[in-house]
């Protein structure tokens, strides 16, 4: 099975002071043990790079970029069709007010690839009806 990895999961894994860090590590170990295929998007990585650099510093962001490049996480490129479907989802969902366009594009990508679960701590994923990977 494939699992989509969201920016919130990357951040929780990297930030040892984050309240979700231990849970993120546990989920990550379970996904590795179960040989899950991890997929993210270039949009999600752009979001993660920005948040990590701003909150954890340049060196952490630089190291993270290096790890992504060699870690075996598949990076799906958002094409025009996925982007447009994400726009439809974004415009259809009036609530929550702070719904991220990125999350809507993630849902569109997951639909197109047949991915049924996400490794995420973002409450908007639940609002969009995306099942989340949980700890054992």
β-bridge partners, 40: 75
- Tokens found for residue 21: 């860090």
Paired tokens of 40: 């993210």
Q: Convert the pLDDT of each residue in 59-96 to its tens digit.
A: 999 999 988 878 779 999 999 999 999 999 999 988 77
CB atoms within 10 A of CB 51: 17
- Dump the DSSP string for 89-114: HHHH---STT--HHHHHHHHHHHHHT
CATH number, domain containing residue 40: 3.40.50.1010
What pTM was computed for the model? 0.92
Number of domains in the chain: 1
User: SS3 for 117?
Assistant: strand
Question: What is the per-residue pLDDT for 136?
Answer: 63
Q: Is residue 133 part of a domain?
A: no
Q: Which domain holds residue 83?
A: 2-127
Question: How far apart are the C-alpha atoms of 48 and 61, rounded to whole Å?
Answer: 9
Predicted pLDDT of residue 135: 73
Buried b (16+ CB within 10 A) or exposed e, 111-125: eeeebebbbbbbebb
């Amino acid at each position: 099975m494939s699992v989509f990895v969201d920016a919130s999961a990357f951040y929780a894994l990297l930030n040892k002071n984050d309240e979700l860090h231990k849970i993120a590590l546990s989920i990550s170990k379970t996904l590795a043990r179960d040989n899950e295929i991890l997929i993210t998007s270039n949009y999600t990585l752009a979001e993660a790079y920005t948040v990590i650099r701003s909150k954890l510093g340049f060196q952490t962001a630089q190291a993270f970029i290096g790890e992504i490049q060699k870690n075996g996480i598949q990076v799906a490129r958002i094409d025009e069709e996925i982007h447009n479907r994400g726009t439809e989802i974004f415009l259809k969902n009036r609530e929550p007010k702070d719904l991220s366009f990125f999350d809507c594009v993630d849902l569109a990508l997951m639909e197109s690839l047949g991915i049924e679960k996400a490794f995420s701590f973002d409450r908007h994923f639940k609002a969009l009806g995306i099942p989340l990977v949980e700890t054992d």
